[in-house]
Structure 1
Amino acid sequence: MTEDMNQVEVNNYEVGDRVKAMVTKVEEKQVIVDVENSKTDGIIPISELSSLHVEKASDAASEGDELELEVIKVEEDALILSKRKIDALNAWEDLEKKFQSQEVFEAEVKDVVKGGLVVDLGVRGFVPASLVEDYFVEDFSDYKGRTITFKIVELDKEVNRLILSHRAVVQDEKGKKKLKVLETIQAGQVLDGTVQRITDFGAFIDIGGVDGLVHISQLSHEHVEKASDVVTEGQQVKVKVLSVDQDNERISLSIKETLPGPWSGVAEKASRGTELEGQVKRLVSFGAFVEVFPGVEGLVHISQISHKHIGTPHEVLKEGQTVKVKVLDVNEDEQRLSLSMKELEEPEIEETNYQLPEESKGFQLGEMIGDKLKDLK
């Protein structure tokens, strides 16, 4: 074929034409293709192979690949072609459909860059760091090469902007799982859970894809200052469902309700006659409440405080004071405990003053005896 015929062959194509071609040779910075219905070679520069940065042409094409390409320049002895442009045209149409339907799809993470991840979908898709997971990720290096699920959250073909989110997929899945759990669990159920987060007012427990709140007052039978004093993140716990609010998607849980109560076994630990030490918790007009075990208070009636007569317990006791008590009676079922302080005190002996008859009464004992002796004589 003469040079003029080659020129005519090449000039049969114009910039913008679509052609089909087969890869015949892959060089470092370009790919040579055999263009269908053409006697001339086609060349794809490395910059036109992909929407992403490519170090070597072999990263994006192999010998024998059949490609659809766009003519971007007509030279005397070759066609300069672009794979990237056709990929982008095809991709935008598909991506528009995915965006409108909010379809979830899988894609491979091609690169990790500052601020997020890069995905090749025929056009460059970017996943900001904040949209990768629903939790903080410090290092994304191991995400490269992974295939994960995405949704398109922003698309603008005019400025070539495509923003993807894996976090949205995760949150949708959790939302569906949460609704399912909310529909199945009922108040009164005892479930296994994992401590997810600890706050000032309690702890959030994962009970199978949904979090429920254990208020700080429901962590223990004892008074709790900080939730972190009782539970730790990641800890496995048993919880009882107190209530389920499906409308507001809230679940109230209790750890306390799954634990033995403070009164459990009190009948054995504080049987009648047992001597204990406790702390005065409250003073009332009729006596004092003394805590002898965590969460277990017994009443020392005012009559059992002291052998002395007292008007009010405040005369001899103060809140926070440590005292010794003796168990008078215990009723574990009714959670009643009668105590005495008096029983452990020695009663005071009253002193009595005896006086002899006064001399002013006119006689002494000796005189009385003397008089009697005289009469006998």
Structure 2
Amino acid sequence: MKITKVEVFRLPTAQSKTNSPIGCRIYTDTGLYGDGEAGMAYGIGGSAAFGMVCDLAELVLGMDPLQTELIWETMYKKTFWGQNGGPVVFSGIAAIDVALWDIKGKYFNVPVYQLLGGKVRDKLRTYASQLQFGWGQTGVSEHLWAVTPEDYAYNVKLAVEEGFDAIKIDFFDRDEEGKPLSFLDTTGFLTPKQLKMVEARMKAAREAAGDEVDIIMENHSYPDALGAVQLAKLAEKYNILAFEEPNTPTPQTVEYIAKYSSVPIANGERIFSRWQYAEYFKKNLLQLAQPDIGNCGGISETKKICDMAHAFDVGVQVHAAGSPLATSVALQLECTIPNFIIHEHHTCNRMDTSVGLTKYNLQPENGCFTVPDLPGIGNEFLREAIDKAVLYKVIE
């Protein structure tokens, strides 16, 4: 079996040009095909990831799609910029790699999880993610962006009423008037007024959630280590499960934060390979690793990261903020790892911008996901969505 053609596309389905899924479809001479997704759909740089997938597609033409390890090493070491690469390189590798695993599962007529060692659990505990953006009705774009403590409490109650026993919120995303905070606002020591604002929101969220709901505190790497320690001290008072992305991830600054905080640290969407994770694990700087399959090299690399994390008693929650395809891929991997902690269900996966992209748009029930048993990754992009792509290229 050989790779004969690769379609690469960016789908015009989100609110802006800086938040649209980047996918690929790999075809073989047997008629089997597989779909993958690059993780740089949001923020700035998606067109670079699109170009990287196109470049890598040329490299893998003619290769046997079942040789995922050989192809991964080829993409990593034959590209010059692959070794010690960043999100553009690893997002490109990820899209190709996931599509290959999809083909492999279909070839052997089993779900990908069987090829990764089989399930160790049937249901995956799930948390409602990014509640500061709102938690609206599934398939509806309208949502309440939290500003006041009452807003935070309202969004938390919506998720808890659906059966979620864990949630994630950024308490330091906007000011008290609803204006987005800039890096000038979030860097350095935080003022008493800022801390008072954060604590009021945190307190409201905890009271709305109750004592039996876990809360993860999101920070999107906005603070630096100085402000992160101040935020961690607040988090200790409200029994926060994990402090996510407290600052720009570097081992030396995370070590400083960990020294002055008892709150477990979660990080990973800006750490892109097993080599970059290694230092965090060796120094016990992470308690919850959050590799994004779409930007750290795909299933092949993420499984290695998860296994490495297991050796250091580090839990895993795959970072999942892409299309419904990314959700399906995350579930295939997470159900196979003993050190799985929880699955992320982003509020964007409930909005109408996720409708019409993929064959399936899985949603959790009572705060849990069941893993699909279809061959491959269990999902694919719709042809009608691909045909509307704003960026599109065929490599053959």
Which range, TM-score by smaller chain? under 0.3
Based on CA coordinates, which of the two structures has the bigger radius of gyration? 1
Which structure is higher in RCO with an 8 Å CA cutoff and minimum separation 6?
2
> Which structure carries more helix by proportion?
2
- More strand, by proportion: 1
TM-score normalized by the length of structure 2: 0.16
TM-score by length of structure 1 reads: 0.16
